[in-house]
Amino acid sequence: MPRIPSLLLAVCLLAGSAGAAFALDENIATRETNIRVETVAQGLKHPWGLAFLPDGNMLVTERPGFLRIVTPKGKIGNAIYGVPQVDARSQGGLLDVALDPDFAENRFVYLTYSEKGDAPENKNKNGTAVARGRLTESMSPQLKDVEVIFRQQPKEASTNHFGSRLVFDREGHLFVTLGERQQEKFRGQAQDLSSHLGKVVRIWPDGSVPEDNPFVDKEGALPEIWSYGHRNPQGAALNPETGKLWENEHGPRGGDEINIPEPGKNYGWPVVSNGVNYNGTPVGTGKKSAPGMEDPHYQWTPSIGASGMAFYTGDAIPEWKGNLFVGGLAIPSLRRLTLDGDKVLTDEPLLETLGLRIRDVRQGPDGALYLLTDEEEGQILRITKAE
């Protein structure tokens, strides 16, 4: 990627380590415009989710189990008391965060996390859970009245593929993306409507089930399910033009997907895939598509490790207005997708030379793009138009 003369401040916080973090203040040339990439905050332990508070501060999750407030100037607050206990192993821990649409009135914050099993038969098992609590207004904020509003069923003995993105739609429904827990013995549950594994679910903010969910009246099906046949959906966002949910998910070796999940539809995993298993063997039938299963809206082969997703609607970078952004983990990068309606026209990789795994992507109240880097010394990056 070409660069304008760099202002890079190469301050290595973990000298000699693969996860070293550098404070950035750099101008980079892209196809449409020149951008400035700067570090807002650093020293976060594998930050996973970000939500902007009405006052411009950021709520940020760290995978080991901490929720913190970070100011626009990069001051990182103490861990907020009241966060549920998490099973922080491998890909598990404290994951996404979202504010209630009526946060200004009710102060509700929603968290996804890997929850340990509490029954004897669930020893060493875990699953994705969603909790909500009220964020207090004080110098030392806490989460109060915390309750679990959703638990993935069943819990399984795995430390991977929790999915976990949270998205509210315009009617106030809460979508939660759920992974299929990776191991081959669990894969088939992505096609099983009596399991939450490998699903997108749709609930009300209190955890109750909307009456118009597609499987509410289907015997043996879990009523929260919206769509199924997903692998590990780690990015999701609401399209501001249509109000529809978009999600992205990891394939195995190849076949990362973007989907626009519709109620009751089957998205194929593990029967069909554009990728292959990690050992090179075919997935399922070995085919890319099958009758009754939805083809991906867009796919990446080789896999980019698709993660956080955001539609850009701001004016700070007018050349990017209407574009879709997706973080890359396996190929550390930020992907900029141009759209014509729902059709993806172009796919530009950005920030590849920085070598940083992009976990989350959000648009800030100032119109800038904000990124979380999934590192031991993780950062919050801000992207603006270069002057």
Give the residue numbers annotated as catalytic, written as ranges.
161
How far separated are the first and last CA of the chain, in Å rounded?
A: 19
d(CA 373, CA 377): 9
Do 112 and 129 meet the contact criterion of CB atoms below 8 Å apart? yes
> Tell me, what amino acid is at 4?
I
> Tell me, what amino acid is at 363?
Q
| Residue reference for tokens 């990446």 | 300
HSE on the CB side for 24, CA within 13 Å? Answer: 27
Q: How many Cβ atoms from other residues are within 10 Å of residue 206's Cβ? A: 10
Q: Helices (H) and strands (E) in the chain — how many of each?
A: 2, 24
Do 375 and 356 meet the contact criterion of CB atoms below 8 Å apart? yes
d(CA 83, CA 149): 14
d(CA 380, CA 44): 8
Q: Which two tokens stand for residue 233?
A: 């959906």
Cross-strand partners of 336: 325, 348
- CA 157, chain centre distance (Å): 22
d(CA 199, CA 186): 13
Q: Which residues contact 147 (CB under 8 A, 6 or more apart)?
A: 131, 132, 133
In order, the DSSP letters of 172-229 are S-EEEEE---S-HHHHGGGG-TT--TTEEEEE-TTSPPPTT-TTTTSTTS-TTEEEE-
